[in-house]
Amino acid sequence: MRTTTERREAIINRLNREGTVKVLALAKEFNVTKVTIRNDLDYLEQKDLLVRSHGGAMQKPVQFLESTNSLKGQQHLPEKKRIGKKARDLIFAGDAIVLSAGTTTEQVVKGLTGIENLFLLTNGLNILTAIGHMTGITAVCTGGNFHQDSLSFSGFLAEESLEKYNLDKMIVGVDGIHIDQGITTHSEHEARFYNAVLKATRKCIVLADSSKFGKVSVHKIMPCAKIDVLITDDGINSEYQQRLTKLGVEVIVV
């Protein structure tokens, strides 16, 4: 059975696809009571993510709906902040980096002020928004097809943009890390973009809180051996840490 957060994310994703959702249908789909679904919808309305309607809810009529990201951003936030802070220590003046869309990577942005002559390419609308009026950063968006659920761009234009620059580092968040299955994501378009980024950059830095270990999503990005640096929190299983180290991955625990 899905957790409350996972169920609410799925409701928002369904809403983005179909425009409306019904309490009865959702209760049957997730095998929970109608009261539980009504509580979910009330919560999501309070978060300004949807509008309640008779017997269900409808999509909030705004241009950019921060749906899944708003919910994901609340999960493991202290760990994400520590991971993001450590990742900033690996970014230097004059670097050219790719910073992927995501809630963990967003924490990286918050401390980039003061790094001079930094070139930052991103497929994340949330990353561009977080940069705001920071000085010393040349920020470029990949463009491409926009995905409301993740506030990210992908597709041919996004992948083609990578060919225009000499890029030092990729700094990315992921959905799952498994020793045998590698780095995975639930999104096919994200997997394609990450593969293109991997080919275009010289160093791969993966950010993942310890809840991601052992998880496998449907689309494979790369084997663990392709990671140069992995930054995670102290909840990582010691066996995972040892096996990753044997694969040549520098594991940084914060």
- How many whole angstroms separate alpha carbon 161 and alpha carbon 142? 6
pLDDT in tens, 122-162: 999 999 999 987 889 999 999 999 888 788 999 999 999 99
For residue 68, is it within any domain? no
> Span 46-52, mean pLDDT?
83
Domain match, 20 and 78 both: no
pLDDT in tens, 4-42: 988 998 898 888 778 889 999 999 999 999 999 999 999
Res 218 pLDDT > 90: no
pLDDT in tens, 52-104: 999 999 876 544 444 455 555 556 789 999 999 999 999 999 999 999 999 99
Domain match, 30 and 94 both: no
Residue 74: the pLDDT is 58
For residue 67, is it within any domain? no
| CA 151 and chain centroid, separation | 9
Task: Check which CATH number belongs to the domain holding 122 and give it.
Answer: 3.40.50.1360
- How many whole angstroms separate alpha carbon 141 and alpha carbon 161? 9
For residue 95, is it within any domain? yes
For residue 35, is it within any domain? yes
Domain match, 129 and 46 both: no
Boundaries of domain holding 19: 4-62
Domain match, 79 and 49 both: no
Task: Check which CATH number belongs to the domain holding 43 and give it.
Answer: 1.10.10.10
Q: Which ranges of 47-179 would DSSP assign to H, the alpha helix?
A: 68-72, 77-88, 103-109, 125-131, 156-161
Domain match, 147 and 104 both: yes
Domain match, 81 and 42 both: no
Domain match, 92 and 11 both: no
Domain match, 128 and 17 both: no
